[in-house]
Structure 1
Amino acid sequence: MHLFSRRRSVRAYLLAWIILPITLLIVVDSFWLYRNTLKSVNAAYDRMLIASVHSIGDLLRIENGELKASLPYAALEIYEASYSSRMIYRITDLDGQFLDGDRDLPIYSGKANKSALYPLLAHIYEDSYNGEPVRVAALFQPVVSNSPRGTALVQVAETQGYRALLARSIFIETLMRQALLLVVIVSITLYVVSRALQPIDALRRQLDQRAADDLSPVAPPMAPRELQPFIRALNGLMTRLQRQLNHQQRFVANASHQLRTPLAVLKTQVQSGLKGDAPAREILGEMSTTVDRATGLANQLLSLAKVEQLRVSGPQEVCDLSMLAREAAVDLSPLIAEKNLDFELDAEKAYVNGHPWMLGELISNLLHNAIRHTPKNGALGIRVHPRPREVELQVWDSGTGIAPDAIHSVFTAFSSVGTSSGGLGLTICHEIVDSMQADISLHNRLDSTGACIGLNARVVFTPSEMPNAS
């Protein structure tokens, strides 16, 4: 139907589906009302026809061997033309010959049922009189005499014009009342629908009056229960857009702030090389270090942006955390070998829902941070352990640990622990864990005497079912 295929307003949709069925019901009811009214009018007037035909039948008698019909003047008045309808009668004698009344009224073609229990019952039927439809009552009246010779046929007919006129009059009056009822229903429906849609109009006005950068949750007053899911979904969208906007603003601020320093250093080094303040090889080495630092910072900024992008629209799949841990260890093995570190990998099969790149980036950043803070010839490792209700990932090192008051601040972008800048590595880890609804925490590793022997980064995931072999 067009109501479903075309975009229409809610008001038009509600009005159509409320008023149209009621209108159709009124039309159908009016049709049946007219039929029932006509039936009731016929029943009432048919009783008069039956009474008339019996009255005439009671006046028949036999005189001198002949059938006589002696109708008083008062009885004949109803058979004259009047303003309402016209009534005609006909009497046929014992031999089937016309006796009295109107010859133009067709004779009844039915036969008397002599074996009937009630032979004096009148028969009602419809016929035509001079081209006009009439309703006729026919009666086979037994004639009482010393030697009865049979029955006489008495017919009384009435034109149907007045019956139809009366039925139409009743129908029109009822139809007018139905139309008035429909007008009342339409008015009440318009009022109720308008009142019901007022919260939507209020929500629209509230959104129209907002500033372009206002993404705070909407709270229209007196919102009905049916509108609450839509408002929650809209507020959820506002929250996601606000988070995306905040991320972009942080990205621009971090990029402009952090890239300014290496670029300024690089410019100073170039100027120093042009002036000949130091040997060219020394200047080029310093410039290479500065470029490497700027490149690493740019890669971290791009990784942070990619995490936010995948948080919003990235597909989720079942990932093998142990396999991703092995891949991260292989990728960073040159750094491990450069510091002659003792690396331990204890990874059992464990599956979690997430994006493979994000999980790989999480493990790589945690492992890279552990390598950076572990002294030469030290030890570090990765553990992956599945549990009944969680999957645990640990990346531990043998560095100097972290101050208790700095455990939470290290996840802030470019935070510093001691004299070493934290960069964006742990910030990226925190964003990845938050997007997966997991939990990350840092704990100092202590020996039996309570001395700090390193740092343990622990991430807890919700487990996923093992994927099918296919």
Structure 2
Amino acid sequence: MLWLLGGLALVVAAVTLWQALQLQDRLALAQDEQLAVALAALTQSVIDQRTLLIDAPAYLAAQPAEGLRRVTFRVSAMNGDWLAGDQGLPACPWATSLPGSGTPERYVAQLRGTLMRVAAAQRHVSGERGGTPVVVQAAAPMAERWPGWPLLWDTLKPLYAAAAAMVVVVWMGVGMALAWINRARAALDQPAETPSSGYDGPAELAPLVERVQVLYRAEHQWVDEQRRFLADASHQLRTPMAVLRTQLQAAMAGDTPAAEVLPQMLHTVDRAAGLADQLLSLTKLEQLKRRGELQPVDLRQVARDVVLEVAPLIAAKRIDFTLDEAGFHVPGDATMLGELVRNLLANAIHHAPAGGRVGIVLRQGAQRLELIVWDEGPGIDDAVMPRLFHPFAATRGGIGLGLSICRQIAGSMDASVELYNRTEAGKVIGVDAVVAWGQGP
């Protein structure tokens, strides 16, 4: 508001200065014209020498124009000798250079300490001695050339009235805007459960308040989720560390042979390392979500790379693996998409029986793209299915983060992931993990 009012004050000051200069120019021009009229009146009274000396002041004072009665005059000989008028007014210092045509010259002089604007002209007096040149001077105070405040006020009253009205409008407008902002701030200080509820400000600010509330709730939800996740992660990491400590103590005390305890310790370390890797994957996933940078990824190439990576696991369980692939691209991040496929495939290999079958199918429909990882495992209990995608909720032998990471990766790439028991003749014969982009018919 101070900036607005300050700018308005500068505009008013600039207009005032401009009006004052314009008025000063008009007053100066009017005064110069007044002095020219006075010179003409004096010349008209100069008929002969006697009239010049006796009647000229009376003639000038008797003029009906008020301006002429304020004019001081002097008539001098060409050598500067006073002939009539006010002797205090100095004789024209340029008398000999005045035009013989009678054109007046204007200059500034001083009369008893007051600056005067003087018009001087050469005139010829008709008389007994013939035509005699004289210098006629008419003078008025210089102060009359500058506008006084009352005159300037009369000129600028409309401007100042408009400026005062604008000040009131600006003050009221800024006050209303501040009131609206305070309402919006109050609504944002207590985010409502539903968008823009509790906000009674102008409709123009409602979308902004709603958006900020959505962001506020999302941030709080994310922080709450991270707190719960860290609490669960610390609990899950504490367990293998406690087991490893117990195993080390047993080995140091000699209670358990080293050949027996070392493989157990290796298994515990692998379990902790796997959990740490999955925690790191969640961190990368959060970065991917916040960047929102998704590029077309060749899903067939990603699937092939993952199969080559987990080939030792497939060989160790003598699994019959098949890859039924179709070439298409999906929006995503190649690294995180590989993590998604790797988790699903590792889960399928883990639950598949030795010598069983596992496969990947890439299927493209009219409005839907699918990646299916299937196995011949024992299936999933209906009571366990709803919580499988929760962090640290796992079936027997799992770490408990893989499926949760899979769902989060899929969600960040506008995809979905679901698990289904595959049945035949009413009997569960395996599990299908389906990652889908788009909507089905």
| Alignment CA distance shift 1:446-1:77 (3 Å) | same
- From 151, 158, 163, give the equivalent of 2:139: 158
Q: 1:438 to 1:152 in 2, by over 3 A?
A: farther
Is 1:136 aligned with 2:119?
A: yes
Shift of 1:430: 0.7
Q: Please tell me whether the aligned partners of residues 60 and 68 of structure 1 are also in contact (alpha carbons under 8 angstroms).
A: yes
SS in 2 for 1:371: helix
Q: What amino acid sits opposite 1:71 in the alignment?
A: D
Contact kept? 1:139, 1:154, Cα under 8 Å = yes
Equivalent residue letter for 1:35 = L
* One-letter code aligned to 2:2: L
Pick closer, same or farther for the CA change 1:382–1:303 going to 2, 3 Å. Answer: farther
Tell me the residue number matched to 1:423.
400
1:364 equivalent in alignment to 2:342:
yes
Q: Do the aligned partners of 1:265 and 1:290 also contact (CA within 8 Å) in 2?
A: no
Match of 2:409 in 1: 432
Q: What's the counterpart of residue 2 of structure 2?
A: 15
Query: Equivalent residue for 2:226?
Result: 247
SS of the residue 2:55 aligns to = coil
Is residue 73 of structure 2 the alignment partner of residue 88 of structure 1? Answer: yes
Matches within 5 A, 1:334-413: 334-348=312-326, 350-384=328-362, 391-402=369-380, 408-413=386-391
Unaligned runs of 5+ in 2: none
Q: Distance in 2 between matches of 1:111 and 1:261?
A: 122
Aligned residue in 1 for 2:59: 75
Task: Give the count of matched residue pairs.
Answer: 420
Task: Flag the 1:450–1:139 CA change in 2: closer, same or farther, 3 A.
Answer: farther
Q: TM-score, normalised by structure 1?
A: 0.66
1:266–1:287 contact (8 Å) kept in structure 2: no
Structure 1 position 25, deviation (Å): 1.8
Contact 1:85 1:161 (8 Å CA) reproduced: no
| 1:32 maps to 2:18 | yes
Check conservation: 2:371, 2:434, Cα contact below 8 A: yes
Please identify, of 184-193 and 449-458, the stretch whose mean Cα deviation from structure 2 is larger: 184-193
- Equivalent residue number for residue 10 of structure 1: none
- Give 1:459's match in structure 2, choosing from 425, 429, 435: 435
Tell me how far apart the structure 2 counterparts of residues 222 and 123 of structure 1 sit (CA, whole Å): 76
Instruction: Using the TM superposition, give the Cα deviation of residue 184 of structure 1 relative to its aligned residue in structure 2, in angstroms.
Output: 7.8
Query: 3-state SS of the aligned residue for 2:18?
Result: helix
Aligned to 2:287: 310
Task: Give the alignment of 1:314-329 within 5 angstroms.
Answer: 316=293, 318=295, 319-329=297-307
> Once the 2 structures are TM-superposed, how far is the Cα of residue 363 of structure 1 from its aligned partner?
0.8
On the 8 A contact 2:183/2:200 being kept in 1, the answer is: no
Q: Which segments of 5 or more consecutive residues in structure 1 lack a partner in the other structure?
A: 1-13, 114-121, 463-470
Aligned residues: percent identity?
22
Cα deviation digits, residues 253-297 of structure 1 (max 9, x gap): 354268549957995998899898xx9699649945862684366
| Comparing 321-330 and 99-108, the one that deviates more | 99-108
Farther-moved stretch of structure 1 (425-434 vs 387-396):
387-396
Shift of 1:367: 0.3
Name which of 82, 87, 99 aligns with 1:110: 99
RMSD: 5.4
C-alpha distance after superposition, 1:335-385 (max 9, x if no partner): 211222221224455444544442222111110122123233332222345
1:466 is matched with which residue?
A: none
Amino acid at match of 2:302: L
CA 1:404 to 1:109, structure 2 compared with 1: closer, same or farther past 3 Å? Answer: farther
Label 1:174 to 1:87 Cα distance change in 2 as closer, same or farther (>3 A): same
